[in-house]
């Protein structure tokens, strides 16, 4: 096994494995590979880790990873097809699959490939031991757990159509926009459905009997979509077809209430030459360089009267000269009803802020039809981790509430600098540029004397914050542990909970909307985004329905469930948090103060290596708090560590306050200078 596989097995970083090799003479020697990329004997590594309490208990997913090691992409595809086939079986039949003999498993795998339309040479040559491992994971953890492991094993080449999944937070947003304010949405289509995340988000909110249609050009991915939908929405009617939607539409003549789609972008080989006379091009033949506008018209061709479509598109689609005529025709015919600019980082490509286009199907004329909602949410703080952890985050709330206001009966009120309802005729200029920022950002009216007072106040506040930051750097005298880092025996949070040293709780959302008891109903809810932002609890129990609500006490250790690029957000509850309710996506560790110091606990459970070894999942990494490890030290030593960890927490908090104030001060000074409200030293007054 490689160093990367060792790090994954032990739940640590690659750098930690390198440190082990340098600092521990008894670390196993390489058994193969190259000098730059050595490989090691798995049994020796496991024995070495086990002797130091670093070897986690093996799970079915660990066994599946081990069986996948060294397998070809074709074999991995065979496992995916096999798993998708198992997803269609009931729980009783799934439970019996791991007990089948090798010949029976191989026959079942061949059947799964044939039924998926992927019976190609090689798909049937999957070892029975690998199939059995996948069947065991499917039985115990569900088929989606198998797909997560396969995603770790081999990633699809970048640029292949349909290979970029839609993050769950974005899928939830698009589903809400496609179905908001219309309870009659009984049918939905995703013509580039990939592994089915978007369709699953919509299907999860529909009544039993709703029809869900999808098309995906890769048989393997289409099979994953069927499996995902079978798990997420077992009571809806699912029809996922294989093929290229633009060249070979699997649903000709189908009209649905909603279309959601995250189409491939930048694909010059989308079929321009073959489809020049296609009847779907009611708004103009898309140029070869405008594949996104082909997908827009494909979606419109499948909308029923009054239906809505939501597509995720690159921002250039709103402004490229080659697409000007089609954009103009979409406006003239009232097909485009909104463009929303999103923050960068929500989906691939992460460095670009993508756009959501909101379209409507043909319908009778109505007042206000010629208005187009332009919403610039690109400055909203959002990430896939934050949005998922906090349910409907600020970005989701801002966009959905604005869309509801725009589609409601009352006249839409402009949100300065954020959203406008623009008459379509005003957009029909030489450019037909639909970029929201071009139309909604306006300079606010600034009163010079008031601006000068505000700048002076901010500068004084910044000086105080910088002074506080300087004081917070006085952490105390630290000393070296010597030639080697200190080591200690550890116990998992689960073991400590069983021994009564602490209690572990997790905030969860209730399935029902029953009101809370009167003594809890008016308490604020501490959400994951409050932890991430370092703010007070801001959730409302009227919107966030909690199952088995937990009241936070001072000294509780709070940890976010979603693991972001920077790890997790952690804090020790203070007086401001005491009495609040534990929100969805937040863990609470309540230590016995006679046995565990809370700041000591918070410092060690948030350590990067600790978080890494307790993280599960690949698409949305989540923390398994019960697997976190805590050193077993006397309470006196814990207090010493806890005192320093508390100082570190104060340093982070004051640094965040100073940074926020510095940004606010710099922005205000720059704005007031550029607007002419303030004059710099040395400049002449008129």
Q: What CATH number is given for 490-632 in this structure?
A: 3.90.220.20
Q: Which of 678, 599, 630, 634 is nearest to 495 (CA)?
A: 630
End-to-end CA separation in angstroms for the chain = 74
Q: Tokens in use for 143?
A: 């088929």
**Residue 55 CB partners (closer than 8 Å, separation 6+):** 9, 10, 46, 49
Q: What is the phi/psi pair of residue 364, to 5°? A: -65, 155
| C-alpha atoms less than 13 angstroms from C-alpha of 513 in its C-beta half-sphere | 2
CB–CB of 240/229 below 8 Å? yes
Nearest-angstrom CA–CA distance, 70 and 7? 17
- What are the backbone angles phi and psi of residue 75, rounded to the nearest 5°? -70, -40
Residues 620, 167: Cα–Cα separation, whole Å: 8
Q: Provide the residue ranges of all domains of the chain, joining segments of one domain with +.
A: 3-153, 168-440, 490-632
DSSP per residue over 580-600, as a string? Answer: PEEPTTEEEEEE-TTT--HHH
Could you tell me which of 84, 131, 142 has the C-alpha nearest to residue 112?
84
Mean pLDDT by 10 residues, the chain (686 residues): 79 76 87 78 87 79 81 82 83 87 88 64 71 90 82 49 73 93 82 92 89 90 86 88 95 96 88 92 94 97 94 96 96 95 86 94 60 90 39 79 91 90 94 93 73 93 94 89 90 93 87 67 88 87 74 95 89 94 93 96 94 83 93 96 94 92 93 88 78
> Is the CA virtual torsion 385, 375, 319, 201 positive or negative?
positive
Distance CA 540, CA 516 (A): 12
Model pLDDT, residue 388: 40
**Can you give the pLDDT at residue 659?**
94
Q: How many CA atoms lie within 13 Å of 135's alpha carbon, on the beta-carbon side?
A: 29
Handedness of CA 247, 251, 257, 258 (dihedral sign): negative
Query: Where is 74: in which H helix or E strand?
Result: helix 73-87
Instruction: Compute the distance between CA of residue 312 and CA of residue 310 in angstroms, rounded to an integer.
Output: 7
Task: Give residue 41's pLDDT.
Answer: 87
Give residue 444's pLDDT: 59
CATH 3.10.180.10 fits 168-440, yes or no: no
Distance CA 376, CA 295 (A): 23
3-state SS, 470-524, equals HHHCCCCCCCCCCCCCCCCCEEEHHHHHHCCCEEEEECEECCCCCCCCHHHHCCC
Beta bridge partners of 492: 629
Q: Which pLDDT does position 189 carry in this prediction? A: 98
């Amino acid at each position: 096994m490689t160093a990367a596989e060792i790090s994954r097995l032990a739940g640590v970083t690659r750098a930690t494995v390198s440190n082990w090799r340098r600092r521990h003479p008894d670390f196993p020697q390489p058994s193969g590979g190259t000098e730059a990329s050595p490989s090691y004997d798995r049994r020796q590594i496991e024995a070495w880790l086990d002797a130091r309490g670093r070897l986690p208990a093996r799970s079915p997913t660990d066994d599946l990873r081990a069986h996948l090691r060294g397998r070809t992409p074709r074999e991995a595809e065979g496992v995916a097809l096999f798993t998708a086939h198992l997803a269609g079986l009931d729980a009783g039949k799934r439970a019996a699959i791991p007990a089948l003999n090798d010949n029976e498993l191989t026959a079942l795998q061949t059947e799964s490939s044939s039924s998926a339309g992927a019976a190609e040479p090689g798909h049937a040559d999957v070892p029975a031991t690998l199939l059995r491992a996948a069947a065991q994971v499917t039985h115990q953890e569900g088929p989606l757990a198998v797909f997560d492991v396969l995603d770790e094993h081999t990633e699809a080449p970048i640029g292949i159509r349909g290979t970029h999944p839609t993050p769950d937070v974005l899928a939830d947003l698009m589903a809400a926009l496609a179905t908001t304010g219309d309870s009659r949405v009984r049918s939905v289509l995703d013509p580039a459905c990939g592994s089915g995340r978007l369709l699953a988000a919509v299907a999860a909110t529909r009544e039993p009997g709703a029809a869900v249609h999808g098309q995906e050009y890769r048989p393997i991915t289409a099979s994953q979509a069927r499996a995902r939908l079978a798990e997420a929405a077992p009571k809806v009617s699912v029809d996922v077809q294989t093929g290229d939607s633009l060249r070979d539409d699997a649903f000709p003549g189908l009209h649905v209430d909603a279309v959601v789609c995250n189409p491939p972008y930048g694909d010059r080989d989308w079929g321009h030459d073959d489809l020049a006379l296609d009847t779907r091009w009611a708004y103009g033949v898309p140029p070869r360089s405008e594949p996104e506008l082909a997908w827009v018209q494909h979606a419109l061709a499948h909308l029923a009267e009054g239906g809505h479509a939501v597509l995720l598109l690159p921002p250039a689609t709103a402004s490229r000269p080659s697409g000007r005529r089609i954009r103009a025709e979409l406006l003239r015919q009232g097909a485009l009803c909104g463009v929303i600019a999103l923050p960068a980082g929500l989906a691939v490509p992460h460095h670009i802020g993508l756009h959501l286009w909101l379209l409507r199907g043909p319908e009778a004329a109505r007042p206000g039809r010629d208005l187009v909602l332009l919403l610039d949410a690109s400055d909203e703080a959002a990430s896939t981790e934050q949005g998922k952890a906090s349910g409907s985050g600020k970005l989701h709330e801002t966009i959905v509430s604005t869309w509801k206001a725009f589609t409601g009966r009352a006249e839409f009120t402009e949100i300065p600098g954020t959203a406008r309802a623009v008459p379509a005729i005003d957009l029909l200029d030489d450019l037909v540029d639909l970029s929201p920022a071009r139309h909604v950002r306006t300079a606010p009216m600034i009163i010079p004397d008031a601006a000068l007072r505000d700048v002076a106040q901010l500068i004084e506040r910044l000086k105080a914050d910088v002074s506080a930051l300087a004081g917070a750097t006085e952490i105390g005298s630290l000393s070296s542990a010597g030639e080697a880092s200190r080591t200690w025996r550890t116990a998992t949070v689960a073991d400590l909970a069983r021994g009564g040293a602490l209690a572990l709780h997790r905030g969860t959302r209730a399935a029902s909307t029953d009101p809370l008891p009167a003594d809890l109903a008016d308490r604020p809810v501490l959400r994951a985004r409050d932890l991430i932002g370092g703010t007070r609890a801001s959730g409302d129990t009227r919107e966030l329905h909690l199952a088995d609500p937990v009241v936070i006490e001072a000294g509780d250790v709070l940890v976010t469930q979603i693991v972001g690029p920077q790890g997790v957000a952690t804090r020790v509850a203070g007086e401001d948090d005491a009495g609040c309710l534990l929100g969805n996506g937040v863990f609470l560790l309540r230590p016995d103060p006679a046995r565990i110091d809370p700041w000591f606990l918070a410092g060690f459970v948030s350590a990067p290596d600790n978080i890494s070894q307790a993280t599960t999942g690949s698409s949305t990494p989540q923390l398994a708090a019960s697997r976190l490890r805590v050193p077993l030290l006397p309470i006196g030593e814990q207090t010493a560590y806890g005192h320093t960890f508390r100082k570190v927490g104060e340093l982070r908090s004051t640094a965040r306050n100073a940074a926020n104030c510095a940004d606010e001060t710099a922005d205000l000074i720059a704005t007031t200078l550029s607007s002419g409200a303030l004059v710099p030293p040395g400049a002449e007054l008129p």
